[in-house]
Amino acid sequence: MICAGLLFFGLPGVESSGIPTAQEMHRQGSTVWKHVPSLDSGSPSVSFRISRGGTILISIEAGGIRDTDPVGMIRVGEREIRIHEGFSTHEIELEASDSTVVVEMTRSWRPFEHPVIHFDEVMLIRGEQQ
């Protein structure tokens, strides 16, 4: 009975008080985020703090679904960019007022689907000097 319930309703999601923030590294004047954990139903979002404007590059792979609806969303200020299944690279121009980039899952658990977003590379490629 419990197994049938888990099959159709899924595991309960993790509830937290806030969105986890990825740890940035500064190397030779560049800002990079290494070893960003994958997003799934247990950890559905992550944020990247931006200390200066510029352009952020986010390379990801998304999947685990059986249709063409978006797997997730990138949110920067009022802007929203949909993440679809497959490999994609997003270059996002940041305004001076943009201090946080949030990547989040938009899919809830469904039987036989395991939506996931993997981060291949996240870096600030063109930044304003402080």
pLDDT digits (tens, 9 = 90+) for 78-110: 999 999 999 999 999 988 777 899 999 998 777
pLDDT digits 0-9 by tens, 25-67: 887 878 899 899 999 988 999 999 887 778 999 999 999 988 8
Please give the CATH topology (third level) of the domain spanning 19-127: Jelly Rolls (2.60.120)
Residue closest to 81 by CA, chosen among 70, 73, 89: 73
* pLDDT at 108 (0 to 100): 78
* pTM, full prediction: 0.80
Cα angle vertex 42, ends 37, 48, to 5°? 40
Specify whether the CB–CB gap between 49 and 98 falls below 8 A: no
* pLDDT at 2 (0 to 100): 54
Dihedral sign (CA 99, 115, 23, 26): negative
